[in-house]
Amino acid sequence: MAASAYKWNYCSLGGVVRVHIASGEDIAHLGELDQKMWTVLSCPVAGLRFDGDTLRMLDTDGDGKIRVPEVVAAAEWLTSVIKDKDSILKGEAELRLDNINTDNEAGQKLYDSAKLILGNLKQDKDSITVAETSDTQAIFADTKANGDGVICEVSTDDEKARAAIAACMAQIGSTTDRSGKPGVTAEQIAAFYAALADFADWKAQEKGDVLPFGADTAAALAACEALQEKMADFFMRCKLISFNADAAAAVDVSVERIGAISAGNLAEQVDEIAAYPLARPNAEQKLYFDGINPAWKAAFETFKTLVLNEEDKKAGSLDEARWQEILSLFGPYRAWMAAKKGEAVEALGLEAVQAFLQDDRMQVLLDLVAEDVSYADEANAILEVNKLMHLYRDFYEFLRNYVLFWDFYSLDPAQKAMFQEGRLFIDQRCCELCVRVSDMGKHAEMAGLSGMFLIYCTCTSKVRNETMDIVAVMTAGGIKNLRPGKNAVFYDRDGQDWDATVIKIVENPISIRQAFWSPYRKFANFVSEKITKSAAEKEDQAVSGLQQKAETAPAAVAEDKKSAFDIAKFAGIFAAIGMALGYLGSFLTYVVTGATAKPMTFVLVILIIMLCISGPSCFLAWLKLRKRNLGPVLNANGWAINSSVLVNIVFGATLTSTAVYPRLRLKDPYKKKGLPVWLWCLIVLLVLAAAGRLVFLLGRKPETLPW
């Protein structure tokens, strides 16, 4: 990209030099800014605390990402249609109409559309607001045509056309018009009239042998289908008896089976009785009407009434041939039903269907749709005014978060970056830097490169019935009580509270103070674990030994207890302690060999030792704290960060606040008791004596030392 002739101003934010967007002219010349100097190259539309409509308007290709060319295009369009470019920086939700630049075609259209919106809203004023342009239902409420290709009942004064629209919505479905009313599209109208024609043609074939039982054909078929399986079962049982007369008892229901249920209320055993044969099978292979299973009696009577003719009823029985003949009568009806069309309008009834076809308002409705579409340019111009108002109000705020990251580094606590989701309260601290996470597993892999102490939490809101994942950056306090599973409370930017649970922690230095004490904390934890482990092993050994001795020789228990306090063991322990002190004294002597014994020498040596222990930890922490970078955290969330977003020591201190209590003398009956005064005095005397002896020895020549 060629060097820009425009003179840019610069600022330093978070220790990084950035281009400062501070005027309307700066916005107008964004296209000349070298893309390498942008803080962000791409940001996601989802998951940001920013007006969603504005973000979608900036994302012109609808791919879910806002890139530099899209931002530049918005800047050029906005500054071309606004007279006072500096007014864009105010972020106002109201725009005076005389501030629209009517010297170009786009501005003139916007001005005319803004006047039209105010007219539709019955507003007589010379300014317009975001709320007014966003309420499309109110804007198009009294308009018959609004360019969306949807017509409603109010779109026409033709009563028959209105009836057709209502029927189409009821049977085919509706589409919401820009006015908020339900309506229909050209596709739905075509589908409605096609269904009307198909249903009418299908019903025209309803004649002759298609209805063997007249209007009762459907009910008659249902009665036959209800008995079809039981009939097939009955006639097969009869065939088995004809095949082998000895099978009669096996295929009939046994007395024992009936006897098993006869002790109870048989009216409650309908399911069991229904499993029995339809009637008692016989060698004649006839179904006698007077011997029907009582559980199937009602279904058979319906079949008998709807299907059987007088001759069948007079015969009092039915064989399989007659049964198959009856079923064959429904062949044409089944085929006709399988070819059914126009089901979508069946609920209207044939008479209404024929009436709609006779009136034929299809072309009238399609003409109304075409007329509505002809207003598309005018309606889209109205929507462009909505885009103008959203960008006029939000664009500079977006630039502060995209080009500068000004809101992130702002000293104003009420001004937050659009990626900051809220605040996490945990372990007497408040973490101000919390970012929403879409995929916690993938996010942690990249975010760990940030050098920051990260706490991943799952947040649940019972009020909203929602769940979300966040990552909180902690920059102050210790880490002693932080662990997965710990509960906390998260407050989003709307002030709504969420139950938060720590899922994962990525450890990095929090502060110099925490790094200074880190070696001692680790050593204390190591010693504590060793002592606890050793004590547990000793306890297990002692208990095991006591149990074993109690089983073999109870008297040996007392002897074992006495031997545990053997003075020789204590002598060995004291000897080891003395040797350790001797080595320590030799080391200290070597450090200050030849030095004149002074009271501060001992203190100086202790400070040197502490510096040797904590110095490397503090130095490494200092290096990491200076290089903490929010970039990897945002990159893991779908951003394309083009510059470092440093969270140095000074700025990091503002992102986490800790609880501070006043120094008060308060009475607490449950307060842990300290050591008695006399014991403190004894400890101080012993320490002074040991320090004096050590200082005395340090002043002597090495060859004269007792060791």
User: pLDDT tens digits, residue range 226-269?
Assistant: 999 999 999 999 999 999 998 888 999 988 888 888 888 988 89
pLDDT value of position 603: 56
Residue 618 has pLDDT above 80, yes or no: no
Residue 556 has pLDDT above 50, yes or no: no
Structure confidence by residue, pLDDT tens digits, 379-406: 888 889 999 999 999 999 999 999 989 9
| 124, two tokens | 């007589």
pLDDT value of position 356: 94
CB of 113 closer than 8 Å to CB of 95: no
Residue 51 has pLDDT above 60, yes or no: yes
Residue 288 has pLDDT above 90, yes or no: yes
How far is Cα 154 from Cα 144, in angstroms, rounded to an integer? 7
Query: Please, which residues bridge with residue 456 across strands?
Result: 471, 504
CB of 26 closer than 8 Å to CB of 71: no
Question: What's the N-to-C CA distance of the chain in angstroms?
Answer: 77
How far is Cα 608 from Cα 55, in angstroms, rounded to an integer? 58
* Site of tokens 């966040």: 470
Percent of the chain with pLDDT over 70: 81
Residue with the bigger pLDDT between 671 and 391: it is 391
Banded pLDDT at 468 (limits 50, 70, 90) = very high
Residue 563 has pLDDT above 50, yes or no: no
Lowest mean pLDDT: which of 131-135, 152-156, 651-655? Answer: 651-655
Q: Which of 426, 470, 390, 392 is nearest to 633 (CA)?
A: 470
How far is Cα 238 from Cα 278, in angstroms, rounded to an integer? 11
pLDDT value of position 704: 52
Q: What does the pLDDT average to over 67-94?
A: 96
Residue 534 has pLDDT above 80, yes or no: no
Residue 695 has pLDDT above 70, yes or no: no
Banded pLDDT at 60 (limits 50, 70, 90) = very high
pLDDT value of position 565: 44
What is this structure's pTM?
0.65
Banded pLDDT at 513 (limits 50, 70, 90) = low
CB of 662 closer than 8 Å to CB of 477: no
- Distances in Å between the Cα of 21 and the Cα atoms of 8, 92, 145, 641, 687 are 8, 18, 43, 18, 64
On average, the pLDDT of the chain sits at: 84
How far is Cα 193 from Cα 172, in angstroms, rounded to an integer? 10
Residue 561 has pLDDT above 80, yes or no: no
pLDDT value of position 151: 93
Lowest mean pLDDT: which of 148-152, 355-359, 559-563? Answer: 559-563
Neighbour-count burial for 88-123, b at 16+ CB within 10 Å, e otherwise: bbeeeeebeeeebbbeeebbebbbbbbebbbebbee
Banded pLDDT at 569 (limits 50, 70, 90) = very low
pLDDT value of position 606: 57
pLDDT value of position 209: 84
DSSP code at position 656: E
